[in-house]
A and B are shown apart, each in its own frame.
Chain A
Amino acid sequence: MTESSALQNEVSLETSIPEGGASLESILCTEELHRRPSRPPDYEKENRALVKLVSALADSPSTIFHTLADTIQDITQCDSAGLSLLTRDGKTPHVEGQRFYWPAICGMWGPHVGGGTPRNFGPCGDVLDQNRTLLFTHFERRYPYLMPVSPAAEECLLVPFYVDGKAVGTIWGIMHSSRRKFDAEDDRIMASLGKFASSAYQAWTHIEDLKIQVAEREKAEAEVRELAKGLEAKIRRLVEANVVGIVMWNLEGAITGANEAFLHMVQYDQDDIASGRVRWKDLTPAEWRNRDEQAIAEIKGSSIFRPFEKEYLRKDGTRVPVLLGGALFEGGGNEGVAFVLDLSEQKRAQEKLRDAQQSLYATQGELAQISRLTTMGELTASIAHEVNQPLTAITNNGSACLRLLANQNLGPEVLRRTLEEIVADGNRASAVIARIRGFIKKAPSEKSELDVNEVIQEVLALVGPELQKNRIAVKCELSTSLPLVFADRVQLQQVLLNLIVNGIEAMTAVTDRARALVVQSKIDESGVLMVAVCDTGTGLSLEADRVFTPFFTTKANGMGMGLPISRSLVEGHGGRLWATSNSPYGAVFSFTLPAAGSSS
C-alpha cells in the first residue's frame, strides 16, 4: 500500500465518524488513577520482571515486543496488554507513520495482533497528542471502529514512549471487566515500562535495519554473481570462438591455459599446456626477450601492457609473428590474460609489398641504395680478377719457358714473343693497380663540410630494409654537439655502409640473443670526433688485428677488401679506423675524423 492511499483511508475513516460519537472527555478517567486506593509496590516482582526483560533484549531481541506485552500483563495483572507503534505499511514501525499497528498483544486481545488504529482519531493518537499517560473507559463509544473488537475494554491504560524525543508508540493494558481497576501503582510501573519500551524499540529497529542491510547486501551479491555468470558466459564464448588467441599466464613464465586459436598458432596441443611443458618464456626467441621484459615492467606498473608485435617459436622451431596485448587479473596476483593475433598473413602481405617496392626501385634505378650496397663487393672482386688475369698469364708464360729451357727446346723467336707478352701483362697489372690507387686518391677532391649525423642517418635509411629483413634492432646514440667535418660524403657513406653491412652479416647467424646494432657519434676524451658501429654478432675472437689485412675474410662470400678500403678512406681523411670487442658479444668498429678546419 502506498503512503497516499493510506492517508485517503484515514481521511475516509475520519469523515465517517457517526454523528453523536462520545467526546474525548467523556471516555477519559485519568485523574481517577490517583484517587483510587493504590496497592503497595512489589519491587521484588518488578525487579525480576525488568531483569527478565533486559536479558530477553540481549538474548532474543526479535521477540522483545511480545516479551514486553507479557511483562505488562504479568505486573499489572490486566486482562490484555500490548504495544501500538506508528507505521506506514502496517507491518513495520516508522516514526512518521500515519496510523498505529499492534505488533504484540497478550491476553484476551491476543487474536487481534497485527490490527491497529488511525493516528489522528484514536486513543493512541490522543495519548501522543496530550503527551502523557491516559486512562480510557469504554473508548469504543468515541471510536466506533473499536466496537467490533471484543471483548470490549472496560478500562485501558495507555502510556506513550519516545525515541530521540519523538513519540513512536504506546504501551497499554486493558481490563475487560470491573474486577480490578488500574491505580497509581500501575501508572508508575507503566511509566517505567514505557522507558524500557523505548530501548526495546531502538534495539528492534536496529536489528531490522541490520536485516534490511543484510538482505540488500545479499541481493547485491546475487546480482554481482548473476552478472559475473553472464560475463563468464560471454568470456567463454570469446575464448571458445577462437577468433583470437587467448592465453592465461603468470609472471614466472608459465602458461596456465590457452584456447585452440593460440595452440594452433604455436602448434602445441592442450596436453602440452596441461603438462606445464609450454612456457611463454620458452616460446619467445632470444632476441625478443628484452621486449618481453619491457612489457613485464609495464604490467607491473599499470597492470596492463599495450599491444606490441613480436614472434613466437612454434613447436617445430619455425617462427610466427604475432600482436600481443594483455593485463594482469585484478587482486595484485601474478596471473594475467593476453590476446594474441597471428600476423603471418599481414607480414607476408607486407613482405610482398616490400619486395614489389624493392624490385620497383631496382628496375627504375631511382635509388642508388642497391648499387651502393654492392659497389664495395664488386669493386674488390673486379680488382682481384683484373690483377689476377695478367698475373696468371705471366706465370704461365714464365713456367712454359722454364720447361722448354729445361728441355733445351726454347727457340729465340718463341722466347722473344713470350717475353713481349710477359712485359705487356706486367704493364697491364700495374695499370690496374694505378687505377685503384687513383680511385682512392682522386676522391678527396670532392670534400665539403658535412654533418656526420646526417650522413649516418642517410646510410641507415639506405640499409633500413636489410636491417628489417634480418630482424635487427637499431639504436642511434648521436651527440648533438658535434663539429662539422671536412670530408667526401660518398666515401664517408661507403665507410659507414661497409661497417654497418659487416655488422648485419656478423649477426645473421645469431639466434640465441638480441640482434642489436648501435651507431654512436660523440666527442671522445681527447676531444676528437668519433663514430662507432657496435654489433652483437659473432665477434672478432683472435682476428681483431687481421681484419684490416687485404683479402682476409671470415665470411663465406667475402672478399676481404671492405675493411682495408674503409681504413684507407678514413686515413685519407686524416682519421683512424680500428676494431675492438663488444661486451659481452660482438664487435665495435670505431673511426675518428678531424673537425673541419682543425688541422691541415
Chain B
Amino acid sequence: MTAAPVVFVVDDDASVRSSLKFLLSTVGLQAETFDSADGFLHKKHPDVAPSCLVLDVRLPGLSGLDFQRELATRNICIPIVFLTGHGDIPMSVRAMKAGAVEFLTKPFRDQDLLDAVRVALDQDRARREREKEITDIRGRFDSLTSREQEVVSMVVAGMLNKQIAAELGTAESTVKVQRSRAMEKMQAESLADLIKMIQKVQSPSQKAS
C-alpha cells in the first residue's frame, strides 16, 4: 500500500469538526477538516491516497447536495458520507442516488460513522486500483509495435494464427513470433489473461459509445 488514507471532514461547526477528527484518530485515520465546501475545493490535494468526504448537508454557501453535484461536474470521484441535522427522506434519497455512501442523522452512533467511512475508503481504494490497473495495461499496450497491436486485436477477436497471417499477408511463423512477443510485453500468462486485459481497457469506452 502506498500513502495513508485521508478523511476530509466538511462541517461549519468547529466542535463537530474537532470531535470528528478526534473520533477518527482513535481508529488510526487521518482527518483534514474544512468549515465550508469552498474551503475544500480551494485547497490542492495530492491525489495519491485513498480518501473520502464526511459532509454536512446544511452548509453555509454551497449546500452539501450542491457540493456533491459540483464534484461530479468537475469529474472528482470521491465517496461521500453525508451528515444531516434531521432525517429528510427526499434529500437523502437524492444524495444516495447521486452516489453517496451513507446518510447519517446527527447525532449518530460512532460505529455507524466509522463503518461508513471504512466502506467509503474501500470504495475509493478499489476504484484507484482499478484505474491503476487500466493505466498499466494501457501503458503496456502502447509499448507494443503497431504490427503487434494489430495481431493482439485479431487474436482477441478470436482469429487463428493462420487467418491472421492471411489477413496481414505474412507467414504464419511470423505471426507466431509477434504474438508471443506481444504476450510477453503485455505480461499476459495466457490467451484468457490477454482477453481480460483488453476487455478491461475497452469496456468503459465501449459502454460509453
Contacts and interface: CB of A to CB of B under 8 A. Distances in A.
Q: A and B, one complex? A: yes
Interface of A: 381, 384-385, 388-397, 399-400, 403-404, 407, 418, 421, 424-425, 428, 551, 556-557, 559
B27 interface: yes
A400 B19 contact: yes
Contact of A396 (B27, B88, B90, B110): B110
A421 B18 contact: yes
A389 B26 contact: no
- Closest CB pairs A-B (n = 4): A399-B110, A396-B19, A393-B15, A385-B85
Given A404-B26, A556-B90, A385 B58 contact: yes
Most chain A beta carbons < 10 A, residue from B19, B25, B83: B19
B23 A389 contact: no
A299 to B, nearest CB: 47
Interface string B20-34: 101101110000000
B140 interface: no
A394 B85 CA distance: 15
A428 B15 CA distance: 10
Contacts of B41: none
A385 to B, nearest CB: 4
Contacts of A396: 16, 19-20, 22-23, 107, 110, 113
A424 B22 CA distance: 16
B23 A388 contact: no
Nearest to A414: B22
Contacts of A403: 23, 26-27, 110
B86 A425 contact: no
Nearest to B27: A403
Interface in B108-135: 108-110, 113
B15 A400 contact: no
Contact of A392 (B19, B25, B88): B19
Contact of B22 (A388, A391, A418, A556): A418
Given A393-B16, A397-B22, A418-B22, 13 more contacts: A388-B86, A392-B16, A392-B106, A395-B19, A395-B107, A396-B23, A396-B107, A396-B110, A399-B109, A400-B22, A421-B18, A425-B15, A551-B86
Given A392-B107, A400-B19, A400-B23, A557 B13 contact: no
Given A384-B85, A385-B85, A400 B106 contact: no
B3 interface: no
A401 to B, nearest CB: 8
B89 interface: yes
Contacts of B89: 556
Contacts of A428: 15
A516 B175 CA distance: 83
A559 B87 CA distance: 9
14 contacts: A385-B85, A389-B13, A389-B15, A389-B85, A392-B108, A394-B107, A396-B16, A396-B22, A396-B107, A397-B23, A399-B23, A400-B25, A400-B110, A551-B86
A238 B109 CA distance: 75
A428 B23 CA distance: 20
B19 A391 contact: no
